[in-house]
Amino acid sequence: MQIANMPRTATGEDAEPIARVLARAFGDDPMMCWFFPEGVSRPAALGGYFTTLFTRQYLPHGMCERTDSAVAFWVSPEAQDKAVPDAETIRELTELLGERAEPFRRSVDAAAANAPQEPHWYLAVLGVDPVAQGRGQGAALLRSGLARADADGLPVYLESSKEANLAVYGHFGFEVLEEVRLPENGPTLWVMRRAPQGGEGA
């Protein structure tokens, strides 16, 4: 595997490049376009959004990996209670979202209502810079996290608001469980699950 594709653990020093990659990766994502409808200001807003999520939520409580042009945030079964945004995180996101803060909150609540009850790994974020798509960097990060879940014998859950991604995740064994229409004419959110493949619990 090329060095550029090799997953490595992200650190606090990676916050700026991670935010840059994810802002580009999610620039046309239906949910992010709904949260940040102003096209001109969206890149900067997305950069701030992902910086907050990374530094305040997933870096301290999740498992964050990156390649040169891709990023993945995972949450283990043990960390899911801790990975819930705290008051300061919510405050920062509210400032970024402005008048879209209330739709965002309702969307988070709608997604939480569909959260699985069984022990699982959660793929919170996976993004690849568009200029590097098709080069295997996202796949490398996905395989890295799936290997951990399989070693634990646990399923993996994710949500996607981009229909084109469903086939990609399907290639890795994910199946759509439910389509959730977000409130206030929001986009559709597809809840997906991948059964464990190998490991003690399979």
Reduced to 3 states (helix: H, G, I; strand: E, B; else coil), residue 124 is: strand
pLDDT of residue 199: 47
State yes or no: pLDDT of 201 exceeds 50. Answer: no
131, amino acid identity: V
CA separation (Å) from 144 to 7, 72, 149? 7, 10, 9
Q: How far is CA 37 from the centre of its chain?
A: 20
Tell the burial category of 168 from Cβ atoms under 10 Å away from its Cβ (0-12, 13-18, 19+): middle
pLDDT of residue 185: 83
pLDDT of residue 4: 65
Q: Which are the contacts of 43, defined by CB distance < 8 A and separation ≥ 6?
A: 23, 24, 27
* Closest CA relative to residue 46, chosen from 103, 90, 93, 11: 93
- Per residue in 59-111, pLDDT tens? 999 999 999 999 999 999 999 887 777 788 888 888 999 888 888 888 877 77
- Per residue in 172-193, pLDDT tens? 999 999 998 887 788 999 999 9
List of domains in the chain: 3-194 (3.40.630.30)
CB 73 within 8 Å of CB 62? yes
pLDDT of residue 113: 75
Gap between the Cα atoms of 79 and 59, Å rounded: 11
**Band (3; pLDDT cuts 50, 70, 90):** low
